[in-house]
Structure formats: C-alpha cells, structure tokens
Structure 1
Amino acid sequence: MRIILLGPPGTGKGTQGEFIIKKYKIPHISTGNLLRENIKKNNKISAKIKNNIIQGKLVDNDIICYLLLQRIQKQDCHNGFLLDGFPRNITQAELLSNQGIKIDYVLELLIPNALILERLSGRRIHKSSGRIYHIKFNPPKKQEIDDITGEKLDIRDDDKIEVVQKRLEEYMKMTYPLTKYYKEEHIKKKLKYFKINGANKLLKIKSNIDNILKKK
C-alpha cells in the first residue's frame, strides 16, 4: 500500500500518518523529518535546506527528490510506504510517476488557514528532548517551561507566524495544480483520491481514513 498524505502544515498529517503506519506496518516518510535530519549534517545541501526553511520557502525540487528517492530505495519500503509532505508540486508528482513508483491513495487533509495559524504559532518545543507542547491544546505545567527539566521552551523557526503565513501562501500556490493532477489520475483510475475534513475530531478523521483504506 503506497499512500500520499497531502495538506498544509498543521493539518494533522503526522498524527494520522502514525495511525496508518501502525495498522498497515509501512514506513512513514516525512519530508520534513528528512530535511531536519539532513540539516544536522552541516554540508552544502543542509545549508540550502536551512536557508529555505528559515525564509518560509519550499525546498528546491532537486534536493527533496534526491533525499526522497534515497529513502524509498531502502528495504523497509518494499511493501509500501506513506509519504507526508511530498509531492508538493507537479514536477515532484511526475518524478514519482517517471520513476515507476505507483501510488494507491492520495488523502488530502483540509482545514481553515486561521486554525492552522493557531495550531502552529502556539506550538512549543524542548529542543534537547524533542518534547512538544501547545500553549492552548497541550500547555506545559508552567508557562513556556519544560515539565521535566525546567528549561525554557523554544519556538521553531518555521512555526513563527510570519513564516507560517509565507508557507501557507507557497503551499496554496503550488498545490492547486497538484490536486487537479491527482483528481485527473483518480478519474483515469490510476489511483484513489479523497478529501478529508481535518478540522474534525482526531478519532473521527482516523475513522474516515480507515473506512477509505478498507475499500482497497
């Protein structure tokens, strides 16, 4: 089973992706995670990635495609995978097709931009442990302080409001033709494409996705 999760940042793709991979025992490939892992390597590619992310720009196609194809070639992807954050444009979608990588499902999570801004701008992280909080939905016991260590929490560069707004603008500009492409692929019966209301309760979204995937 090869699945693509589409949706702007903050729509809950990561959470729903975890449900899917546990049930179907396939790897969850997040391009966000791939990029963050490569930033730590301190080479020319990592410098380009970091610069784009800080400016709220999408990472160049050649970089993200190179990293993704390397990941898909690993043994654990032979029985399928779930892609989160890729493709983001027609060029990337065509790359998958040209490489002979068949996709079974495209699931697009959609929520209002105002809710995305609330979700992301309120997120806080404890950098050394990776623990994540939210000032409204999952606040620490003490404001802006990690529960375990008592250290100050941080805001990721790509969660700052001005960066999130830029990311959303870039996403919408790139994704409209991409979703049109996948709708056409759905009509041609090359894959199955579904829109999902990401503003619903977490378990309702999970149930909707389970029902879709059961029809395979």
Structure 2
Amino acid sequence: MLNIVLFGPPGAGKGTQSQKLIARYNLVHLSTGDLLRSQIAQGTELGLRAKKLMDEGLLVPDEVVIGMIESQLAGNTEANGFIFDGFPRTVPQAESLDALTQRYDTGVSCMIALEVAEEELVKRLLERGKTSNRPDDQDETKIRKRVTVYNTETAQVAGFYAAQNKFHALNGIGEIDNIFEQICAVIDKHQAATTQDTKQATNEVKA
C-alpha cells in the first residue's frame, strides 16, 4: 500500500499536486479538515465529540483525529493507498499514525514537503484571496502567521521521518507538471525499494 504524507505551507500547491497524485496512483485523499467537517455533518459519535470541543474553542485531541483516520482506513481496505494532507503535524501524531497503519499491515511510505519562500507564499495567497472568499487569504498578517506555524510544526515532523529515511523536500516553485514529476520520482523510488525489500525477505524465508 502506498501512503504519502504531503506537506507544504499554505499556498505551496498541495491541493493541485494531491489531485494529480490521486489520478496517477489511484489513492484516497485524507484531509483532516475535510474529515472533521464530514464527520460533523454526518453526526457521527466522533463528529459530535469534535463539534462540542470546537464550539467550546478547544482543539480537537489527537485521539479523535486518529479515530477519524482509522475509520477511513477501515472503510477503504481495498484502496491502493492514501495521501495524508497536512497530517501529522506533530511528532506524537506521527507516532500515532505509524502505530495505526501498522495495525493494517502497512505504513507511511514517504513524507514529501513542498518548499516555497515566504514572500512567494504571501503573493500567491493574496492573489488567491481575490477569488477564494477566505478571510485568511486576504490578510497578510494572518498569512504570515500561518506560514510561521507551518514552519514550526513541519521542522519536528520532518526530523521524525528523516530518521526513517522517508523525508524529502522539493522546491515548490516552478511549472506544476515539473514539480509533479519530481514528486513521482520520489514515490517511484520508494516503491521500487519496497518491492526489492519484499523480494529479499521472501527469498530469505525460502532459504
């Protein structure tokens, strides 16, 4: 199973690249924000719990988010893999995700982070704000705060996956298709290595 953690600051192009990756590799897109909204709309137990906390101005705890992700894994056992969009954001979340995927006899294949300079991000988001109707895309102060939060979070998670030789940083500035092919090259390399490890393990068992 191919499981990709796709990271990047707001405006880095994660949404565009996610759709292209889903089409090429037949993956299921898991965005924690989308999951929260969906669970709340459906009135599930996890959704009701999350809504109560959010209404009180509290953060949704990791176990609730992990529970939502597990429900998606359980409901898509025939999937070729998943794209985790913007999750995990902390080392404890990354550890929880590793434990969860291992229960389904899989794991995180790689983490790919799109790197874009802050000034370019501000420019992109302010331009996007003209049509997105999102208030946080129209306020430069809020944009810079979002970028700072991302940089703080991703530094920790990047180290976690780097220790597993799974972290890859790519330049997020350039032609969309060129960036996409760079992402695919990383993924294909990991898939080839996984296939080789599986063959080697099989041969050792036979021996």
Please give the secondary structure, in 2, of the residue aligned with 1:96.
Answer: helix
Q: Which runs of 5+ in 1 are unaligned?
A: 125-134, 140-153, 187-191
How far 1:40 moved relative to its partner?
A: 4.5
Q: Which one of the candidate residues 140, 162, 165 is aligned to 2:144?
A: 165
Who is 2:176 aligned against?
Answer: 202
Who is 1:118 aligned against?
Answer: 123
Partner deviation per Cα, 1:112-169 (whole Å, 9 max, x = no partner)? 1122222223324xxxxxxxxxx4xxx7xxxxxxxxxxxxxx6224434233332222
How far 1:7 moved relative to its partner?
A: 1.3
How far 1:71 moved relative to its partner?
A: 1.8
> Which piece of structure 1 moves more, 6-15 or 164-173?
164-173
Residue type of the alignment partner of 1:214: D
How far 1:68 moved relative to its partner?
A: 2.0
How far 1:105 moved relative to its partner?
A: 1.7
Structure 1 runs (4+) greater than 6 angstroms displaced: none
Matches within 5 A, 1:133-152: 135=130
Please give the secondary structure, in 1, of the residue aligned with 2:6.
Answer: strand
Q: Which one of the candidate residues 118, 124, 133 is aligned to 1:155?
A: 133
Supply the distance in 1 between the matched residues of 2:162 and 2:86 (Cα, whole angstroms).
Answer: 18
Matches within 5 A, 1:164-183: 164-183=143-162
Residues 166 and 38 of structure 1, relative CA distance in 2, 3 Å threshold: farther
2:172 equivalent to 1:193: no
How far 1:195 moved relative to its partner?
A: 1.0
Give me the CA root mean square deviation.
2.6
Q: TM-score, normalised by structure 1?
A: 0.71
Residues 159 and 35 of structure 1, relative CA distance in 2, 3 Å threshold: farther
Q: TM-score, normalised by structure 2?
A: 0.74
Residue type of the alignment partner of 2:186: I
Q: Which runs of 5+ in 2 are unaligned?
A: 192-207
Asked if 1 retains the 8 angstrom alpha-carbon contact of 2:28 and 2:79, the reply is no
How far 1:77 moved relative to its partner?
A: 5.8
